[in-house]
Amino acid sequence: MPTMQALVKSEAAPGLRRMEVPVPEVGINDVLIRVHKTSICGTDLHIYEWNDWARRTIPVPLVIGHEFVGRVAAVGANVHDFREGDLVSGEGHLVCGRCRNCLAGRRHLCPHTRGIGVTHPGAFAEYLCLPVTNVWYCDPSIDTDVLACFDPLGNATHTALSFDVLGEDVLITGAGPIGCMATAIVRHAGARHVVVTDPNPYRREIARRMGATLVLDPGRDSLADAQRRLGMKEGFDVGLEMSGHPAAFRDMLAQMCHGGKIALLGLLPGEVPIDWGTVIFNSLTLKGIYGREMYETWYKMTVMIQSGLDITPVITHRFPFTDFERGFDVLRSGRAGKVILEWE
Ligand code: NAD
Ligand code: ZN
């Protein structure tokens, strides 16, 4: 049986092991991908550190990772639309295909979603096997570092394009990689002011380079002051919550205009008290976001990059996969945006 190198959660404890594992078997509807580059997600860090969520969720042993770009190495007998050598990335959410939402083409709303690198073998390996329905043909003129980030760029795109931002004032809480990518996207989509908050100065600087009008430290700067400085009168039109921190969400609620719209991507802890009076009397719309739309989000991010969207300032580090520990260390330090691992 052929084998490959992979990063494996090999036991129910903190850490990850680089080890030799079997190359996945290719079913008739599958595509085998030779992984070229991967990027590390906050989720991978949680799995590495083995937090409560990871303990409850991850079956061990498991090859982790879900952000990748690679080339088709082999296809199953039923696959006719991909060929060996095609440059591809892929949707890491595996959906059932049979529920009402899947049948209606709303696959991102499938209630039976499984995730590669979370409950299903992942992409931090020399080879990854995906059902053909999850493979995305990449524009080869796009930088492969950027293509390796299509999964989180898709989260940013799905959230940022949830509401019309042309001419609007946008508040983004959290300048993690996704908040920073969303900053560039709402700019590209025509927002007027884009205010981004994050306590981490390294990340505020990335948000500034991604096109933020103003970056704020939530512990020090007030959003009401920021609005005055920008000459805003009635509050933010659109809010993108990308920190997962209750304080950030509460600050945002208080700074929205009447009729304002909020998209929530950050994973807030289970139950967060908020002032529901603000939501109701100010007629706010709250929308939860999970994953990416299959495949409208993938189309939109491709054409935005083709039309000049630049997310490269968010990509701060690159390591060979054999140095994965250094990649996880720098991400944990908070002095990093996206960290790429190279597999070739
Ligand atoms: P990240 O953890 O790298 O970034 C979060 C940022 O929020 C950090 O830079 C942190 O300093 C900042 N922050 C902390 N407290 C804050 C506060 N009070 N105000 C403003 N900012 C604050 O995460 P990421 O990879 O950029 O992802 C963003 C969020 O989206 C995370 O919560 C992540 O778990 C979540 N996520 C959700 C989905 C989904 O499908 N819903 C998918 C991917 C990620
Ligand atoms: Zn389904």
Active site amino acids: 43, 46
Same domain? 183 vs 284: yes
For ligand 1, atom 33, the nearest C-alpha belongs to 266
In a domain, 55, yes or no: yes
Ligand found nearest the CA of 111:
2
Q: Is 45 touching ligand 1 by the criterion CB < 6 Å? A: no
* 338 domain-assigned: yes
Q: How far apart are CA 263 and CA 159, in angstroms?
A: 6
Q: Which domain holds residue 170?
A: 158-288
pLDDT the model gives residue 263: 99
pLDDT at 1: 87
What tens digit of pLDDT does each residue of 165-195 get? 999 999 999 999 999 999 999 999 999 999 9
Choose one of 149, 195, 243, 245 to mutate for the ligand 1 pocket test, by most ligand atoms within 8 angstroms of C-beta.
Answer: 243
Residue 132 lies inside a defined structural domain of this protein: yes
113 in ligand 1 pocket by Cβ < 6 Å? Answer: no
In 84-235, which residue ranges form alpha helices assigned H by DSSP? 100-103, 144-148, 150-160, 177-188, 201-209, 223-230
Vertex 241, ends 268 and 312: CA angle to 5°? 115
Residues 138, 216 within the same domain: no
Question: Closest by alpha carbon to 267, among 244, 240, 295, 241?
Answer: 244
For ligand 1, say whether the CB of 291 is within 6 Å of any of its atoms: yes
Q: Look at residues 140, 227, 153, 151 and name the one whose alpha carbon lies nearest to residue 192.
A: 227
Q: Is the Cβ–Cβ distance between 119 and 57 less than 8 Å?
A: yes
Structure tokens at 39: 């990027």
**What CATH number is given to the structural domain containing 7?**
3.90.180.10
What's the CATH number where 190 sits? 3.40.50.720
Question: Number of structural domains, the chain?
Answer: 2
Q: Is 266 in the pocket of ligand 1 (CB under 6 A)?
A: yes
Asked if the structure places residue 303 within a domain, the reply is: no
Separation of 198 CA from ligand 1 center, angstroms? 10
pTM over 0.75: yes
Positive or negative torsion for Cα 314, 117, 288, 275: negative
Measure CA of the first residue to CA of the last residue in the chain; give whole Å.
21
Decide if 46 contacts 64 (C-beta within 8 A).
no
Q: Is 7 in the same domain as 138?
A: yes
Closest C-alpha among 204, 203, 304, 214 to residue 255: 214
SS3 150: helix
Same domain for 50 and 118, yes or no, is yes
Q: From the alpha carbon of 268, which atom of ligand 1 is closest? A: 32
Residue spans of beta strands (DSSP E) within the chain: 3-9, 17-22, 30-39, 62-63, 67-75, 87-90, 93-94, 114-115, 127-131, 135-137, 170-173, 194-197, 214-216, 236-241, 256-264, 285-288, 315-320, 338-342
What is the rounded distance in angstroms from the CA atom of residue 38 to the CA atom of residue 151?
10
Q: Which residues of the chain have pLDDT under 70?
A: none
Angle between helices 177-188 and 150-160 (to 10 degrees): 50
Say if 293 falls within a structural domain.
no
Indicate the burial class of 59 (C-beta count within 10 angstroms; 0-12, 13-18, 19 or more): exposed
DSSP code for 56? H
Ligand found nearest the CA of 248: 1
Buried b (16+ CB within 10 A) or exposed e, 144-160: bbbbbbbbbbbbbbbbb
**pLDDT in the model for residue 225:** 98
At 293-328, the pLDDT tens digits run: 999 999 999 999 999 999 999 999 999 999 999 999
251, 171: one domain:
yes
Please report the atom of ligand 1 found closest to the CA of residue 218.
19
CA of 254 to the centre of ligand 2 (A): 36
In a domain, 305, yes or no: no
Q: 80 and 175 in one domain? A: no
Long-range CB contact pairs, 8-15, < 8 A, 24+: 8/61, 8/62, 8/63, 8/64, 9/47, 9/48, 9/58, 9/60, 9/61, 9/62, 9/64, 10/60, 10/61, 11/60, 11/61, 12/50, 12/55, 12/60, 13/50, 14/48, 14/49, 14/50, 15/48, 15/50
Q: Same domain, yes or no, for 177 and 218?
A: yes
CA of 108 to the centre of ligand 2 (A): 8
Q: 11, 12, 44: which is closest to 324 by C-alpha?
A: 44
